[in-house]
Structure 1
Amino acid sequence: MVHNSNISLAMIVKNEAHNLPKCLDSVKDIVGEMIIVDTGSTDNTKEIGINYGAKVYDYQWNDDFAQARNFGLQYVSGDWVLVLDADEVFNPKIISQITPLMEKDDCLVINLIRHEIGTVSSPYSSLSRLFRRHPQISFSRPYHALIDDSVIALQEKEKQWKIFDSNEVAIAHYGYQPEVIAQQEKAQKARKAMESYLAQNPHDAYVCSKLGALYVSLGEIKKGLKLLKTGLKSSLATSTTLFELHYHLANAYVKEGQISLAVKHYQKAIASPILGKLKLGAYHNFGSLCYQRGQYQQALNLYRQCIIIEPHYAFAYYNLGLTHRAMGNISLAMETYRQSIKLNPEYPWAYQNLGVLLLQQGYMEESAEVFQKAYNLHKQQNRPVAENLKEELKLVGLNLND
């Protein structure tokens, strides 16, 4: 029987006073100990950890996440290790699902699904964040530090060990929200660390995927394409990494205008033998490509597949609304916009597009209410867009309140 005392939380932190309490609150009732490695906080991060009963250790930061995580592992005493970052919140309800897996004598690692809060097209990822404490398990890679390399090596020596996947969301991650990324300059830190690792490991499929995708996001598309194609040639790529390579290649080819290649790689990504939640980005972006090309029925099918996989995926409903409208299905468009708003009431474009249809259908009073909500949200998120909407509505006799 696995008891709470057998799970140890392991974290590395720096200046996380604003995030840490929420993170620790989410695990305080399910772990037996908290091991926190502080890499140089100047706020009261350490004091918060100590107040929660954590053992806090100082570590001199050296641009290597793996080394910092391994420093913390030496202090862990539980049978199982749960790894979290301060900008993550654990879902304690998942414990009832993963406890039977932890009780299996041959279970070495449980991959946990993480919800990437704030991302639009790829809301889920799978990470090896819960594992049996074993002297052969350690982290590698200076950025996106993973235990996976050591686990593969251990499985080759000790054949009994197995890896299991949990199917429900275990972690909510807030670090991909745009304003957070801007504050932490994550992209440049990631680039520096991964380029250093790539110099020593030029054919590593995982780093080719992550760094290639980063290059594409920074606008260095040719550089990204070259690296992603290098990753595909690796014989050691896992199913998840192969999915990511095809997915990022497809996104890059869309930006390059090489549509047939984009379609080919979206199709290969979707065919990957991994959990449906992890493929949402491929279904969604392929749907958007079909929509942009006027292939509305195909777009509709892909967005519907997103909703089958994840019924609470607000952005898929929004895009379904756009597609229904393009196909002339106004009532269906309004219905799906409303569903999108219900699931994510903070997205102004869903209100704005619904307002346009209501106005066109002659529902003046309701359209004014919906446009007002769109305006208020735009004002908070992008004031020039809000002002532009206000001026356009004046031309049709609708006056919004400030």
Structure 2
Amino acid sequence: MESRPAITLCMIVKNEEAFLKKCLSSVQNFADEIIIVDTGSTDGSIRIAEKFNAKIYHYKWDDHFAKARNEGITKAANEWILWLDADECLDIQHPETFKKALANRKANILSLPITNFTGNHLHSDDLTSYIHYQPRLFRNHQGIHFIHRIHETLDAEPEKMTTDILDLPILHYGYIHEVTEKKDKSSRNKRLLELEAAKETHSPWVTYHLASEYYRDKAYKQAFDYVNQSIYMFLLEGRKPPSILYKLKYDILVQTNSIDQALPGIEKALLLYPDYVDLHFYKGLILFQQADYQAALACFETCLDLRENHPDYLILQGVGSFRAAHYKNLCIEKLNTLDKN
């Protein structure tokens, strides 16, 4: 009989009754064990978790996501650990297929594609989505653990940090405005990030995450200042700034129509990340706004050639497909109009 690896779902939860049932329903045929670390729920979250036979542990919240997640790891019994938030769910049709795939993986950490939805309301017709890959499945009992107070990530001895990709999609609804507003996520996140930023030596990632929080609040000036600080901090450390920083920077410039100085900078960013479809798309938007339709057309054609399957990047859905095609057609229309004149 073919072996199937056993999987433990580990979560931290507080007042998540709006999403928890959907989340746990999505994993009930995939996870063999469910560990819930509850940090003080006063709603129906515990009752919902109990209906899924979850093992529930109470944890006094201490403003540190990594510590709470690590508490869950200590309770997990199985070979693999999947971690999710309550406002996420697996988009899975054939759980056994993925469990078989796990049996053949050599890596200790697997990155899964996450679709992050943004917009005003959960059921809006105009939801925007972004795809990125994040380490969400890892082997238990290998010393792999979480670090960082907020925006926690996995860490271990270098030889344990072997990675691979598993195309098991996760859907994330936590960035939708009505969700963040109800939970007041922005205030909480900025408070925790500012605690980290107050340290004399803090990671440039902390500054980037502050930029992201202000961006989601549409406080673009603060966001722009923070993302530039983060880029500078990476450079001071002798490291190439990650691609996601440049995406945020030029997204802000496009959103605020601040394109005068954007083109030389985005050209430099593309030298660092020549296959990043989002940067080509933003370059195309900048050129389009400058009425350089021929050059913009070339950018959108490049986007369509690159497509959107790039696990190393955060991708706005459509920049390598329907969005690029839309602007390609607009460029052609503009050029045809100019020819007629």
Provide the TM-score with structure 2 as the length reference.
0.79
Gapped regions of structure 1 (runs ≥ 5): 273-278, 332-402
Q: Whole-Å Cα distance in 2 between the matches of residues 314 and 252 of structure 1?
A: 18
Per-residue CA deviations over 1:10-30 (Å, capped at 9, x if unaligned) read: 011111112111111111001
Q: Offset of 1:183 from its aligned partner?
A: 2.1
Q: Offset of 1:182 from its aligned partner?
A: 2.3
- Aligned in 2, Cα 1:297/1:188: closer, same or farther, shift over 3 Å? farther
Identical residues among aligned pairs (%) = 26
SS in 2 for 1:200: coil
Contact 1:231 1:245 in 2 (8 A): no
Alignment of 1:42 onto 2:37: no
SS in 1 for 2:76: coil
Correspondence 1:313-324 to 2 at 5 A: 313=317, 317-318=322-323, 320-324=325-329
Q: Whole-Å Cα distance in 1 between the matches of residues 234 and 143 of structure 2?
A: 27
In the alignment, what sits opposite 1:7?
7
In the alignment, what sits opposite 1:60?
60
Q: Whole-Å Cα distance in 2 between the matches of residues 208 and 318 of structure 1?
A: 30
In the alignment, what sits opposite 1:21?
21
In the alignment, what sits opposite 1:344?
none
Higher relative contact order (CA 8 A, sep 6+): 2
Q: Whole-Å Cα distance in 2 between the matches of residues 127 and 24 of structure 1?
A: 20
Per-residue CA deviations over 1:111-156 (Å, capped at 9, x if unaligned) read: 1110112367761112111100135211111111111xx23xx12x
Q: Whole-Å Cα distance in 2 between the matches of residues 100 and 200 of structure 1?
A: 42
Structure 1 runs of 4+ with >6 Å offset: 119-122
Give the structure with the higher percent helix.
1
- Aligned in 2, Cα 1:107/1:190: closer, same or farther, shift over 3 Å? same
SS in 2 for 1:9: strand
- Aligned in 2, Cα 1:72/1:58: closer, same or farther, shift over 3 Å? same
In the alignment, what sits opposite 1:134?
141
Q: Whole-Å Cα distance in 2 between the matches of residues 14 and 189 of structure 1?
A: 13
SS in 2 for 1:107: coil
Q: Offset of 1:86 from its aligned partner?
A: 0.9
In the alignment, what sits opposite 1:282?
279
Please give the root-mean-square deviation of Cα atoms over the aligned residues, in Å: 3.2
SS in 1 for 2:153: coil
Q: Offset of 1:262 from its aligned partner?
A: 3.6
Question: Aligned residue pairs: how many?
Answer: 312
Q: Whole-Å Cα distance in 2 between the matches of residues 32 and 41 of structure 1?
A: 24
In the alignment, what sits opposite 1:103?
104
- Aligned in 2, Cα 1:184/1:228: closer, same or farther, shift over 3 Å? farther
Contact 2:15 2:43 in 1 (8 A): yes
Q: Whole-Å Cα distance in 1 between the matches of residues 233 and 326 of structure 2?
A: 38
User: Which stretch shifts more, 287-296 or 130-139?
Assistant: 287-296
In the alignment, what sits opposite 2:289?
292
Contact 1:191 1:214 in 2 (8 A): yes
Q: Offset of 1:202 from its aligned partner?
A: 3.5
Q: Offset of 1:290 from its aligned partner?
A: 2.6
Kindly provide the amino acid, as one letter, of the partner of residue 189 in structure 2. A
Q: Whole-Å Cα distance in 2 between the matches of residues 9 and 65 of structure 1?
A: 16
Q: Whole-Å Cα distance in 2 between the matches of residues 201 and 77 of structure 1?
A: 38
Kindly provide the amino acid, as one letter, of the partner of residue 294 in structure 1. A
Contact 2:227 2:245 in 1 (8 A): no
Q: Offset of 1:99 from its aligned partner?
A: 4.2
Contact 2:207 2:226 in 1 (8 A): no
Q: Whole-Å Cα distance in 1 between the matches of residues 103 and 58 of structure 2?
A: 30
- Aligned in 2, Cα 1:324/1:178: closer, same or farther, shift over 3 Å? same
Q: Whole-Å Cα distance in 2 between the matches of residues 35 and 209 of structure 1?
A: 31
Q: Whole-Å Cα distance in 1 between the matches of residues 297 and 168 of structure 2?
A: 26
Q: Offset of 1:40 from its aligned partner?
A: 1.4
Per-residue CA deviations over 1:24-56 (Å, capped at 9, x if unaligned) read: 111100111000111111211111111011111
In the alignment, what sits opposite 2:81?
81
Which structure has the larger Rg over C-alpha atoms? Answer: 1
Q: Whole-Å Cα distance in 2 between the matches of residues 72 and 250 of structure 1?
A: 38
In the alignment, what sits opposite 1:206?
205
In the alignment, what sits opposite 1:233?
236
Kindly provide the amino acid, as one letter, of the partner of residue 188 in structure 1. S
- Aligned in 2, Cα 1:185/1:286: closer, same or farther, shift over 3 Å? farther
Kindly provide the amino acid, as one letter, of the partner of residue 40 in structure 2. G
Q: Whole-Å Cα distance in 1 between the matches of residues 243 and 94 of structure 2?
A: 26
SS in 2 for 1:43: coil
Kindly provide the amino acid, as one letter, of the partner of residue 178 in structure 2. E
Per-residue CA deviations over 1:331-358 (Å, capped at 9, x if unaligned) read: 9xxxxxxxxxxxxxxxxxxxxxxxxxxx
In the alignment, what sits opposite 1:391?
none
